[in-house]
């Protein structure tokens, strides 16, 4: 077992470096052991991160027990819920690359031997996984766990309840006093928001990838089980170091296929179509959109969690969590991939039970015959677009209507709340892609507004931006090429007819080909919105959403 940390502490020449480490309180015995990094995204801004300091203490204890020396550092974490509907959301997706870079820089500069990543929430878990794959030293991911659901008048609540309450008040369906009750009760404590939104979806997929210990994703933030798993992760990463098991030996193509299949089976967030390709790219693997659609077509959706269904992450935990889902999927899951337990998937699942439950249905009685996400193509999305199939009401699976065109999210929200959007319309929000936004903002505000004002079953939304994992309805995102790159969405005109046909995987602008070609030839992209700072750099180097919005 060759230790990278020996470059820092071994030999006479390392005496000054040892002196600096002794200033941290390390002993000679500490310096002789493997150096194990704890990369933590703790802060007291984001509810999903409030408790991560305690998890780091548990991880450190496990590392020490197994014979390693734990050393902790932090990275950033942005709360999408706090940024939602503001310019702050432009910075959310771009932060993924900063997180990956910052973890890489710390690991490489200080020559760590192994790593435990601790994170919650939407961009932070993917960013850390990108760093794990990039640096490729023995590593385990500890995800912070879901928040408990709130409750009021016998109804379970989460943060989406608050977003949709705004629309309900504006539509006269709810009093402001009732909305204030939801505000006070929907987020009862630490953890990532209680439904199957992006944060919890990525935790589930980390476990399905084999890079987290079994049971990690659904063990709740306030549960002592989470601390036990954190401590076990600290011990296990030292064993992985001794065995030479690195992330790229775990995160193989077969493992990514398992993660996509689990994603489809549970009805996860559309943001996974950005994050999984980005993580795979760091591992030297190319995941194309067609793979998501191919696996979706043959994977039944067997869970129905919030925001579409009645169940929360607490229900999924009580039903057996991700291991029970994978067990229920049977032969759809590849058994050969190695995991951070040191065993194969098939070995981890051998003694897992998947009892009959409405939370995880049998394959012969799924909620939907196909998976939760569909990839659409057509003259409006030549490189593809993404829709959360699971969240679309049956009558909206095929929809044709006039385009109502907006160049900014805020303008669309004002139109929805101003009752200028009518039944049958197709709301188009463009110049919100990775380059054009810049930063590809989530569109929870307009989708929640559509739901809140009662148009969920009659209005579609199409954007080159993206959606929160809490979005439901006929909402098509990631339209590629985006408007800023001269994609066809840039030349849609008010009143143009748009056809959305999810069963046939079609997204079409119903204008003659010659006219569309002429419009595109005349189109000139607007000046970049970001003139300075990180967003200006990001907009110059980011790739299409169809490629995972990775850096070129």
* Predicted local distance difference test score (pLDDT) of residue 136: 98
d(CA 132, CA 278): 12
DSSP helix/strand/coil, 460: strand
Sheet containing 35-40: give its strands across.
Answer: 69-74, 35-40, 114-119, 139-143
What does the pLDDT look like over 96-114, one tens digit per residue?
999 999 999 999 999 999 9
The pTM of this model reads: 0.96
**Catalytic sites, residue numbers:** 468
pLDDT at residue 438 is higher than 80: yes
Least confident of 52-56, 171-175, 379-383: 171-175
Report pLDDT for 535: 97
List the one residue out of 370, 381, 379, 414 whose CA is nearest residue 261. Answer: 370
Non-local CB neighbours of 89 within 8 Å, separated by 6+ positions? 80, 83, 439, 441, 442
Q: Which of 245-249, 345-349, 448-452, 518-522 has the lowest mean pLDDT?
A: 448-452
Residue 238 pLDDT level (bands cut at 50, 70, 90): very high
Q: What average pLDDT does the segment 10-35 reach? A: 98
- How large is the average pLDDT for residues 136-157? 96
**Between β-strands 475-480 and 460-463, what pairing exists: parallel, antiparallel or unpaired?**
parallel
Q: What is the pLDDT of residue 445?
A: 85
Closest by Cα among 204, 211, 202, 233 to 337: 211
Phi, psi (5° rounding) for residue 339?
-125, 175
What pLDDT score does 125 carry? Answer: 98
DSSP-based three-state secondary structure for 280: helix
Work out the burial of residue 175: count CB atoms within 10 Å of its CB; fewer than 13 is exposed, 13-18 middle, 19 or more buried.
exposed
Mean pLDDT for the stretch of residues 60-86 = 96
Report pLDDT digits (tens) over 152-162.
Answer: 998 899 998 99
Inter-CA distances, 541 with 49, 434, 465, 546, Å: 29, 10, 17, 15
pLDDT digits (tens, 9 = 90+) for 518-531: 999 999 999 999 99
Residue 395 DSSP class: G
Residues listed for the chain = 552
d(Cα 194, Cα 186) in Å, to the nearest integer?
A: 9
First to last CA, the chain: 35
pLDDT of residue 391 exceeding 90: no
The pLDDT confidence band at residue 354, using thresholds 50, 70 and 90, is confident
Rounded Cα gap, residues 249 and 164, in angstroms: 43
Look at residue 472 in the predicted model and tell me its pLDDT: 85
The rounded distance, in Å, linking the Cα atoms of 329 and 3 is 40
pLDDT above 70: percentage of residues in the chain: 100
Measured CA to CA, the distance from residue 285 to residue 252 in angstroms comes to 8
Number of other residues whose CB lies within 10 A of the CB of residue 89 = 27
- CA dist 387 and 443 (Å) reads 13
The answer on pLDDT for 35 being more than 80 is yes
**The pLDDT of residue 214:** 98
Report, as an integer, the average pLDDT of 25-37: 98
Chain segment 469-498, per-residue pLDDT in tens: 878 889 999 999 999 999 999 999 999 999
Q: How far is CA 328 from CA 23, 173, 216, 415, in A?
A: 52, 40, 18, 45
Asked whether the beta carbons of 190 and 51 are under 8 A apart, the reply is yes
Per DSSP, the residues of 135-172 read H-SSEEEEE--BPPPEEETTEEE-HHHHHHHHHHHHTT
CA dist., res. 181 & res. 110, Å (int): 49
Full 3-state SS string of 357-400: CCCCCCCCCCCECCCCCEEEEECCEEEEEEECHHHCCHHHCEEE
In angstroms and rounded to an integer, the radius of gyration of the C-alpha atoms of the chain is 23
Least confident of 57-61, 158-162, 258-262, 383-387: 158-162
Residue 524 neighbours by CB under 8 Å, 6+ apart: none
- Residue 167, pLDDT > 90, answer no
Confidence of residue 4 (pLDDT cuts 50, 70, 90): very high
**So what's the pLDDT on residue 424?**
97
Q: What is the pLDDT of residue 355?
A: 78
Could you identify the residue written with the tokens 């309180």?
25
> Please, which pLDDT band fits residue 405 given cuts at 50, 70 and 90?
very high
Instruction: Specify the pLDDT at position 6.
Output: 98
Q: Output the pLDDT for position 448.
A: 84
Measure the CA–CA gap between 552 and 539, rounded to whole angstroms.
11
Burial profile 54-75: b = 16 or more Cβ within 10 angstroms, e = fewer: ebbbbbbbbbbebebbbbbebb
SS3 516: helix
**If you average pLDDT over residues 289-299, what whole number do you get?**
97
d(CA 73, CA 205): 25
Residue for token digits 């549970």? 266
pLDDT above 80: residue 141: yes
- The Cα–Cα gap between 286 and 157 comes to 38
204-216 per-residue burial string, b: 16 or more CB within 10 A, e: under 16? bbbbbbbbbbbbb
Higher pLDDT, 57 or 171: 57
Q: Which residues pair with 40 in a beta bridge?
A: 74, 118
């Amino acid at each position: 077992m060759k230790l990278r940390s020996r470059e820092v502490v071994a030999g006479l020449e390392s005496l000054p470096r040892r002196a600096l480490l002794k200033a941290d309180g390390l002993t000679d015995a500490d310096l002789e052991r493997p150096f194990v990094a704890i990369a933590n995204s703790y802060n007291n801004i984001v509810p999903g991160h409030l408790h991560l300091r305690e998890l780091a203490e548990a991880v450190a204890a496990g590392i020490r027990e197994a014979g390693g020396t734990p050393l902790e550092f932090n990275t950033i974490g942005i709360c999408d819920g706090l940024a939602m509907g503001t310019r702050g959301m432009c910075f959310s997706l771009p932060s993924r690359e900063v997180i990956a870079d910052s973890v890489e820089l710390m690991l490489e500069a200080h020559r760590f031997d192994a790593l435990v990543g601790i994170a919650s929430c939407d961009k932070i878990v993917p960013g850390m996984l990108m760093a794990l794959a990039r640096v490729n030293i023995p590593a385990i991911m500890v995800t912070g766990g879901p928040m408990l659901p709130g409750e009021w008048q016998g109804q379970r609540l989460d943060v989406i309840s608050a977003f949709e309450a705004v629309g309900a008040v504006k539509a006269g369906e709810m009093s402001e006093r009732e909305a204030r009750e939801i505000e006070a009760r929907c987020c009862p404590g630490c953890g990532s928001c209680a439904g199957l939104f992006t944060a919890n979806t990525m935790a589930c997929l980390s476990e399905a990838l084999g890079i987290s210990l079994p049971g990690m994703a659904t063990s709740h933030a306030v549960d002592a089980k989470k601390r036990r798993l954190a401590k076990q992760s600290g011990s296990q990463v030292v064993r992985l170091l001794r065995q030479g098991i690195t992330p790229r030996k775990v995160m193989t193509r077969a493992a990514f296929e398992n993660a996509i299949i689990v994603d489809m089976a549970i009805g996860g967030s559309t943001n996974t179509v950005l994050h999984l390709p980005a993580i795979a790219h760091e591992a030297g693997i190319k995941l194309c959109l067609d793979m998501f659609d191919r696996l979706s077509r043959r994977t039944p959706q067997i869970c129905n969690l919030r925001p579409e269904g009645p169940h929360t992450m607490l229900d999924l935990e009580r039903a057996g969590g991700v291991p029970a889902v994978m067990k229920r999927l049977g032969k759809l899951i590849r058994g050969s991939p190695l995991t951070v337990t040191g065993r194969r998937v098939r070995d981890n699942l051998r003694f897992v039970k998947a009892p009959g439950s409405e939370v995880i249905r049998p394959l012969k009685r799924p909620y939907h015959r196909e998976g939760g996400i569909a990839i659409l193509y057509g003259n409006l999305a030549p490189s593809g677009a993404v829709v959360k199939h699971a969240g679309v009401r049956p009558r909206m699976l095929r929809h044709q209507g006039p385009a109502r065109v907006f160049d900014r999210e805020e303008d669309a929200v004002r139109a929805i709340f101003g009752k200028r959007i009518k039944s049958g319309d197709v709301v188009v929000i463009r110049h919100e892609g990775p380059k054009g936004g810049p930063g590809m903002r989530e569109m929870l505000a307009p989708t929640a507004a559509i739901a809140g004002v009662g148009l969920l079953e009659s209005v579609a939304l199409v954007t080159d931006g993206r959606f929160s994992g809490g979005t439901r309805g006929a909402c098509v995102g990631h339209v590629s090429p985006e408007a800023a790159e001269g994609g066809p969405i840039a030349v849609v005109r008010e009143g143009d007819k748009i056809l959305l046909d999810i069963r046939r995987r079609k997204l079409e602008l119903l204008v003659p080909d010659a006219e569309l070609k002429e419009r595109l030839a005349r189109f000139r992209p607007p000046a970049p919105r970001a003139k300075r700072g990180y967003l200006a750099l990001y907009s110059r180097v980011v790739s299409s959403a169809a490629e995972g919005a990775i850096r070129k």
